[in-house]
């Protein structure tokens, strides 16, 4: 059965800290790995990763994929209170374009 696992499930850090969020997967017919940020409503897209070892970067956020070990990490440097959110990892499959989400990591950044 397809599975996407995230850790930790929740995390509290102080402003300025660096955090690493983990996502591992066991999925047949892997196409890509997706990261989303969810605040109060719908998730917003952060990154799509398809190739191993290539870092995607956007401001203080970066992510990388390891297709051999079947995991990805999302790094946030110099965290701010506005980074407080649930971070969702998802895997898109080639078969029927199905997209499966992990449980999410709830990040709280305190001043």
Partner 1 sequence: SQTIHQWPATLVQPVGSPLSLECTVEGTSNPNLYWYRQAAGRGLQLLFYSVGIGQISSEVPQNLSASRPQDRQFILSSKKLLLSDSGFYLCAWSPRGNTIYFGEGSWLTVV
Question: Footprint of partner 1 on this chain (CB under 8 A)?
Answer: 6, 31-32, 34, 41-45, 48, 88, 90, 92, 94, 96-104, 106
The residue among 48 and 70 lying less far from partner 1, judged by its C-beta, is 48
- Minimum distance from CB of 87 to partner 1 (Å)? 11
Round to whole Å and give the CA distance between 11 and 84: 10
Toward partner 1, which CB reaches closer, 48 or 61? Answer: 48
Cα Dmax for the chain: 44
Nearer to partner 1, 7 or 77 (CB): 7
Question: What is the smallest separation between the CB atom of 78 and partner 1, expressed in angstroms?
Answer: 26
Residue with tokens 């407080």: 84
Residues in the chain: 111
Nearest to 73 by CA among 18, 29, 27: 18
């Amino acid at each position: 059965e397809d599975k996407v696992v995230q850790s930790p499930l929740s995390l509290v850090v102080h402003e300025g800290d660096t955090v690493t969020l983990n996502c591992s997967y066991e999925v047949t017919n892997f196409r890509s790995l997706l990261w989303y940020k969810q605040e109060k409503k719908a998730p917003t897209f952060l990154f799509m990763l398809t190739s191993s070892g290539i870092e995607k970067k956007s401001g203080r956020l970066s992510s990388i994929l390891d297709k051999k070990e079947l995991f990805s990490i999302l790094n946030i440097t110099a965290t701010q209170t506005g980074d407080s959110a649930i971070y969702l990892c998802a895997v898109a499959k080639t078969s029927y374009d199905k997209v499966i989400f992990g449980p999410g990591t709830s990040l709280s950044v305190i001043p």
